[in-house]
Each structure stands twice: as structure tokens, then as C-alpha cells.
Structure 1
Amino acid sequence: MSKKNRDANRAERARKIVEQQRAAERRRKVTLWTSVTVVLVLVIAGLAGYYTLNSKDKGTLVTPSVAVDDGTGFAVGTGSVVVDVYEDFMCPICNQFESASGSTLKDLATANTITLRYHPVAILDGASNGTEYSTRTAGAAAAAAQEGKFTEFHDVLYANQPEENSDGLTNAKIIELAKSVGLTSDTFADAVNAGTYKAWATHVTDVFSDRGYTGTPTIVVNGKQLESSSGGVPDTALITETITEAAG
């Protein structure tokens, strides 16, 4: 074979190799963009599903007009010392705290020594067998506050607190208990049954978490969390002593 022919053959083989490489590169790009498109579609679908589910779960945020502290709590009294109580109506320790210190705090609020702010949160929904008792009662408390009966409803819920890890009280039972403290309007019953303040309860719980709190009851005096020497729930003596010092 002449040198000319050999050169021509080499050039042809080189051309074919280059063409094969170009074709492979085109296939690689098509595969890459196809993969990227699939991933984007899945991400978009996932986000759409997440927001749809989230919307269904949380509903529309309705903040009670009587709520204070950025719409997260309900106030009793107008004293200069602010005491915040974060509580979950399914929490047995919250009930113990209420039995031990609740009346003292209410008396101080009535005397306008303190401003007592209750924040119903829902961190124990998992302890009610899927009935979301914590969320339902926090929302019901908001409805009671709208009708000027928060503390009465608050107290009757604790007096009839179900056991942790039970189904909790039904909406019908909650409405029945509310009637015993003067909450007899259709507006209240409709709010309980419709879950009007369900999203609000979720919002308050999110704010509770954002503020760095993790358990209930959480007691805060003038913006500072108050705990016992062992890091637990403060007793009545410590609370009153702290309030007296804060009041000057």
C-alpha cells in the first residue's frame, strides 16, 4: 500500500473516531439533561405535595383577636411583672403545676401584681392515639378566650384531664364541659368542631420551639425561663420569690 493510501486510511479512521466521540458526547448531554429534567420534575412534584399536605394539615391561620404576645397567648391581669406559662392540656405535669401554683398565679394576676400570660401549645399530639387532643384543646381554648372564658375553660379542662396515651376527650365532650362554665354559644361549638384555631395552635407551638423551649410546663418571668435548682419545674415558693424580686 502506498504512503498516500496509508495516510488516507489513517485520516479516515481519525475522522470516524472523532465522529464517534462527538456522537457519544451528544448522547451524554441528552442523558444528562434528561436526568436533570426528571430530578426537577420530582422535586417540583415533591414540593407541591408537601405544600398541599401542609396546607391540608394546618388550614388557614386564624389568630384570636384577644391574643397577646404576637398573638400567641392570653393575658390575665396588668401587672408590671410578666409571667408566661406554656402548657399542654394533655400534659400531666402541667396539671400538677396548675394544682400546686395555679391559684397563686391567678391571685397575683387579679391583684395586678403580674400579667399572667397563658400559651396553650401542642407538643403531645403523639400521646393521644392520633386524635390530636393537644391541638384540639389548644384551639378550643382560643375559641373560649374569644368569648371571654379562657380561665374558666382552662380550669375545667384540667379538672377533666384524660390520661396520657389515651384518645383524649371527644369534641362533643369538650363542648359539654365548656357549657358547664358558660360557653354555650354555637360560635364556640362550631369553632371546636371545625378546627377554626387548629393552625393557630400549630403556630403557637412553632413559636414555643423557636424561643428555645422544649417541654411543658415552661415558666418564664420577665423573659427569663425559671427552673428549679435541679432544672425542673419551679415550685410556688421560687415563683413568688422571683416575682417579688422582679417587682422591686
Structure 2
Amino acid sequence: MGRNRRDSARKRMAELRAREAARAHRRRALATVLGALVVIAVTILAVVLLRGGENSRSGYRGSLAPLTRQADGSVVMARPGVSGPVLEIYEDFQCPACKSMEEATGKTVKELAAAGEAKVVYRPFWLFRNSPEPTRGNSLRALNASLCAPADTWIAYHDRLFAEQGPENSPGFRDEDLISWARQVGIGDGGFASCVTGVRKSAQIDQADAAATKAGVQSTPWVTLNGRRLDQKTVFTPDGLRRAVREVAR
């Protein structure tokens, strides 16, 4: 009987150890799963925050060719060494058709420049100089603010201005909004606010208008490729714009 009791006790002890080992294994497995879920959650959060930051800077998330500002206020977007084909875009930030073009082919324009397939020259000007208020003032304030923006963050601000464009005959592009949007796309003040409120770029505004007049611009968007105006169907379709640029490059 004593031997049987000892065998039974050893058996129960072995069973207890087996159950404890099984519980320990489950705890380790659960800890591993929970750790993996935490890593996944942190990764997802980081991606969401990153994308949120990108959205606050610009709607475009692809690569960009370097941006440089010319003396007359226009902005060149091109890879080093790329001199053509030259795609010039005359636009007004209060122009509804310009906003429609940005929505339709703005991404395509940036992609062509980033790929080294074109030298893009943005030429915003004061189309509504002789229009009644509030359209006239909206156009002027947005243009001046774009000229105040530094070249390296200019395209993000350019895109934001079109995204925020209000109805043509309604008050818009208030100085405080123009300054706030600049901060949101990464423009440090550096005199930006005073440049906006003081309309400090009047000389470049006159130069931009003169360049548009010299080019024969009569409406916006007015897009030329190596000096030749593109038709609206080409300007407003990604495939049409790519095809036009590539045909000229042959």
C-alpha cells in the first residue's frame, strides 16, 4: 500500500508539473501575441501620423524635382540638367478652372518633372486685377502670399491655396488664413507674415503680369509646351499631357 501511495503521489506531481508547464507555455504564447499586436498598433499609428503630416503639407505624396524661384517670381521645378521640354503654367489662385486643372493633372505635372521628362515653370499672376471685389482682392492676396513663400516649400503652399479656394465672388484668402496655412505646410515665419500683411511682393506681381501679357495669355489656366499653347483636352487629361510632353521630347 505504501508503494502504491508513493506511485500515486509521484503521478499527481507529474500531472501538476505538466499542467503548470502547459499554463506557462500559454502565458508565453499570449505574451508573444500581445507584443506582436502592440508592434502592429504602433506601426499603424506611425503610418497614420506620417500620412496625416503629409496631408497637412501637400496633397501630393510622390517625389518632387528641385524647386527654384526666378527673379520675376516664377518657380521652376526640374531635375538638374533638364532644360526641356518646357511646360509653362499661367494660373491664378482664385481661378476655378485652374483649381480644376490642378485636381485633374497637377499630379501628372509633378510626376513629369520628377522623372526628368519636363522642365516645369509655374507662372501665377494677377488675372483678376481689373475684376470687382471681392474677386480682385482674393486673387491679389493669394498671389502675393505665394510669392512670399520660400521655394523649397512653395509647391505645398501652391497646392494648399487651390485646395482652400472659395467661390469666385465671395470673400476669401484672408491674411490670417494665408499665414495659418503656411505654418501648416511647414513654412516658418522668417518674415512671411509681414510679407503677406504688407503685400511686399508688388514689384514681382507687376513682373508676373507683364510676363503673362508678353506671352499673350488671355485666360487661365494657360499652359504652353515649348512656347506653344496646349488645348484644354490635353491640359485636363493625364494621358493627353504625358503624350504631348513625350512627343515633343522625341
TM range (shorter): 0.5 to 0.7
Rounded Cα–Cα distance in structure 2 between residues aligned with 1:107 and 1:211? 25
1:219 and 2:220 are equivalent in the alignment: no
Aligned AA (1:241): R
On the 8 A contact 2:148/2:195 being kept in 1, the answer is yes
- Sequence identity percentage: 27
Rounded Cα–Cα distance in structure 2 between residues aligned with 1:138 and 1:173? 14
- Counterpart in the other structure of 2:142: 137
On the 8 A contact 2:135/2:170 being kept in 1, the answer is no
- Counterpart in the other structure of 1:107: 111
Structure 2 residue runs of 5 or longer lacking an equivalent are 1-67
The 3-state SS of whatever aligns with 1:83 is strand
1:202 and 2:206 are equivalent in the alignment: yes
The 3-state SS of whatever aligns with 1:86 is strand
Cα deviation for residue 87 of structure 1 reads: 0.5
- Aligned partner (choices 93, 99, 102) of residue 98 of structure 1: 102
What does 1:222-241 align with in structure 2 at a 5 Å threshold?
222-228=226-232, 234-241=236-243
The 3-state SS of whatever aligns with 2:181 is helix
What does 1:37-186 align with in structure 2 at a 5 Å threshold?
66-68=68-70, 71-78=72-79, 79=82, 80-125=84-129, 126=131, 128-129=133-134, 132-146=137-151, 148-186=152-190
- Counterpart in the other structure of 2:245: 243
| TM-score normalised to structure 1 length | 0.67
Cα deviation for residue 167 of structure 1 reads: 1.8
The 3-state SS of whatever aligns with 1:149 is helix
Aligned AA (2:122): Y
On the 8 A contact 1:143/1:197 being kept in 2, the answer is yes
The 3-state SS of whatever aligns with 1:119 is strand
Pick closer, same or farther for the CA change 1:228–1:120 going to 2, 3 Å.
closer
Rounded Cα–Cα distance in structure 1 between residues aligned with 2:235 and 2:128? 18
| TM-score normalised to structure 2 length | 0.66
- CA RMSD after TM alignment: 2.0
The 3-state SS of whatever aligns with 1:94 is helix
Cα deviation for residue 178 of structure 1 reads: 0.8
Rounded Cα–Cα distance in structure 2 between residues aligned with 1:225 and 1:127? 28
Rounded Cα–Cα distance in structure 1 between residues aligned with 2:95 and 2:232? 19
Rounded Cα–Cα distance in structure 2 between residues aligned with 1:123 and 1:131? 9
- Counterpart in the other structure of 1:46: none
Pick closer, same or farther for the CA change 1:237–1:89 going to 2, 3 Å.
same
Rounded Cα–Cα distance in structure 2 between residues aligned with 1:73 and 1:130? 22
Cα deviation for residue 233 of structure 1 reads: 5.1
Rounded Cα–Cα distance in structure 2 between residues aligned with 1:121 and 1:107? 23
